Structure 1
């Protein structure tokens, strides 16, 4: 079973850029860190992407899509499904990059 993702998670783009996590809820927490829900990653800024800017490339700066399968539809926080550590998504980089969970931020609660 995958782990629920919190704001202590480490989510990165394929080039090593860090996704900045800002939850839209703070009521449901695990080990003091808010749980991330379906709407929390979409649009999140990315800092430190190592993709060099050239005529044909651009660093990742924002998560533009979250791919299906990264949420637990039966586990909710505030009525919305929570993200799990199998979360993946796409960035605005050129060529488009991907984001993935390196660490869920906790290893207690599974969904």
Structure 2
């Protein structure tokens, strides 16, 4: 069982930049905070990525999401699967979309969902 992600979840790029989160639904809240669903992890801003080089800017946005790892196949809100703690994807770093992002904290401690 994996915890469900909320707007308070801690997601970051591989360099340590913080992914900004905003829920697209407001129907379900956990501890007063909206739960995340598909597509809430895609095209999200990344703040304070420290890995800039003269040739490459830092990570700015999430560009892809691993659907199987990131979203429940069992629990849906308004037809959209819940996001879970195993969430992963890629960022736009170096325009190649190869640097991963992942979840480190769910933003809540009570609600879990099956793989």
Taking structure 2 as the reference length, what is the TM-score of the superposition?
A: 0.91
Contact 1:35/1:77 (<8 A) preserved: no
Q: Secondary structure at the match of 2:112?
A: coil
Match of 1:48 in 2: 48
1:107 Cα deviation from its structure 2 partner: 1.5
Match of 2:26 in 1: 26
1:68 Cα deviation from its structure 2 partner: 2.6
How many residues matched?
Answer: 110
1:60 Cα deviation from its structure 2 partner: 0.5
Contact 1:72/1:84 (<8 A) preserved: yes
Match of 1:88 in 2: 88
**Greater helix share, 1 or 2?**
2
Task: Return the alpha-carbon distance in structure 2 between the equivalents of residues 107 and 39 of structure 1.
Answer: 22
Task: Return the alpha-carbon distance in structure 2 between the equivalents of residues 99 and 82 of structure 1.
Answer: 18
Task: Return the alpha-carbon distance in structure 2 between the equivalents of residues 76 and 66 of structure 1.
Answer: 17
4+ runs deviating over 2 angstroms? none
Q: RMSD of aligned C-alpha atoms?
A: 1.1
